[in-house]
Amino acid sequence: MKIKNLIYYSVGITLVAASMVTHAADRKIETAPPEFLKMSNPNDVDDVDKKIMKNAKKLYKMKCKKCHGSDGDGKGSAADDMEVKPTAFNKPGYLKTRKDGQLFWILKKGSKGSEMEGFGPGTDANLSDEEMWGIITYMRSEFTK
């Protein structure tokens, strides 16, 4: 009888664990509204002002690295115990599939149900649109694979 309970218990745990894994893998980041999707980055990634890039690099280190990692691999020091993992920007092909306006929208407003907060005007970070476009330029230039 006891062994039978133990078996039920193990099967239960396995099922719960399996459903958690599937859930994380199935997660899709919400799609930005059309007015954002049609935006394009005011900076040219291949020919960007050095000052913009320097400032963006600094902001990324200060505000993004602890989750998204210095290589953009999503493995920053704070990422370990997060249920919804930070996006790995350097996954081959990933940034190519993401529109500027999509990245900008999430960066500005955050991603519901995850620890990705909004960084735009009026938030704690209070970054300006220019600063956020700078960070996106930095990400595209450093992490696109």
Q: What residue ranges bind ligand HEC (CB under 6 A)?
A: 27, 29, 63-64, 66-68, 78, 82, 84, 86-87, 98, 102-103, 106-107, 111, 114-116, 119, 135
We find the least distance from the C-beta atom of residue 2 to ligand HEC, in angstroms, to be 42
Complex with ligand HEC: residue 4 or 112, whichever CB lies closer? 112
Q: Which residues pair with 110 in a beta bridge?
A: 117
Strand (E) positions, the chain? none
Complex with ligand HEC: residue 51 or 112, whichever CB lies closer? 112
Rg of the chain on CA atoms, in Å: 19
We find the least distance from the C-beta atom of residue 76 to ligand HEC, in angstroms, to be 7
Q: Which residue from 97, 98, 108 is spatially nearest to 133, judged by alpha carbons?
A: 108
Contact 124, 63 (CB under 8 A): no
